[in-house]
Amino acid sequence: MDFDFDIPVDRQGTYSLRWEKYAGRDVIPLWVADMDFRSPPAVIDALRRRVEHGVFGYTLPPPELSALIVERMQRLYRWAVHPDWIVFLPGVVSGLYLAASRLTRVEEHILSPSPVYYHLFRAAQTAPRAWSDVPMVLERGRWVWDEDRLAASVLPNSRMLMLCSPHNPGGTIFSRDELARIAAFAAQHDLLICSDEIHCDLLLDQGKPHVPIASLAPEVSRRTVTLMAPSKTFNIAGTGFAFAIIEDIGLRQAFSFDLKKSVHDATLFGYEAALAAYRDGQPWLDALLDYLRGNRDLLEAAVARLPGVEMAHLESTFLAWIDCSGLGLADPHAHFLGHGLGLSPGADFGSPRFVRLNFGTQRSVLGNALVRLERAVLDARRS
Ligand SMILES: Cc1ncc(COP(=O)(O)O)c(C=O)c1O
Query: What would the pLDDT profile of 332-344 be if each residue is shown by its tens digit?
Result: 999 999 999 999 9
Q: Give DSSP secondary structure letters for 124-145.
A: HHHTT-EEEEEEEEEETTEEEE
Q: How do residues 25-62 score in pLDDT, each as one tens digit?
A: 999 999 999 999 999 999 999 999 999 999 999 999 99
Q: What integer best gives the mean pLDDT of the chain?
A: 97
Distance (Å, whole) CA 269 – CA 113:
33
The answer to whether the pTM exceeds 0.75 is yes
List domains and CATH numbers for the chain.
17-41+282-382 (3.90.1150.10), 56-280 (3.40.640.10)
Given a cut of 90, whether residue 139 has pLDDT beyond it is yes
Q: Residue 13: what pLDDT?
A: 93
CA of 231 to the centre of ligand 1 (A): 8
Q: What angle do CA 114, 116, 118 make, to 5 degrees?
A: 115
CA of 188 to the centre of ligand 1 (A): 29
Given a cut of 80, whether residue 100 has pLDDT beyond it is yes
Given a cut of 90, whether residue 278 has pLDDT beyond it is yes
Q: Residue 268: what pLDDT?
A: 97
Q: What angle do CA 245, 250, 253 make, to 5 degrees?
A: 70
Residues with CB under 6 A from ligand 1: 33, 91-93, 117, 164, 168, 196, 198, 229, 231, 237, 242
Mean pLDDT for the stretch of residues 369-381: 97
Q: How do residues 54-99 score in pLDDT, each as one tens digit?
A: 999 999 999 999 999 999 999 999 999 999 999 999 999 999 999 9
For residue 232, what pLDDT band results from cuts at 50, 70 and 90? very high
Question: Which of 89, 94, 232 has most ligand 1 atoms within 8 Å of CB, for mutation?
Answer: 232
> What is the number of the ligand 1 atom nearest to the C-alpha of 34?
14
CA of 196 to the centre of ligand 1 (A): 8
Given a cut of 80, whether residue 316 has pLDDT beyond it is yes
Q: What is residue 361's DSSP assignment?
A: S
Distance (Å, whole) CA 142 – CA 313:
7
For residue 203, what pLDDT band results from cuts at 50, 70 and 90? very high
Given a cut of 70, whether residue 373 has pLDDT beyond it is yes
Question: Which of 87, 89, 119 has most ligand 1 atoms within 8 Å of CB, for mutation?
Answer: 119
For residue 133, what pLDDT band results from cuts at 50, 70 and 90? very high
Phi, psi angle pair for 243, to nearest 5°: -150, 150
- Total Cβ atoms within 10 A of residue 169: 29
Q: Residue 1: what pLDDT?
A: 66
CA of 118 to the centre of ligand 1 (A): 10
Strands (E), the chain: 28-29, 86-89, 109-114, 130-139, 142-145, 158-164, 192-196, 224-228, 242-246, 310-311, 319-323, 341-342, 344-345, 354-358
For residue 382, what pLDDT band results from cuts at 50, 70 and 90? confident
Mean pLDDT for the stretch of residues 356-362: 98
Closest CA to 266 of 66, 102, 36: 66
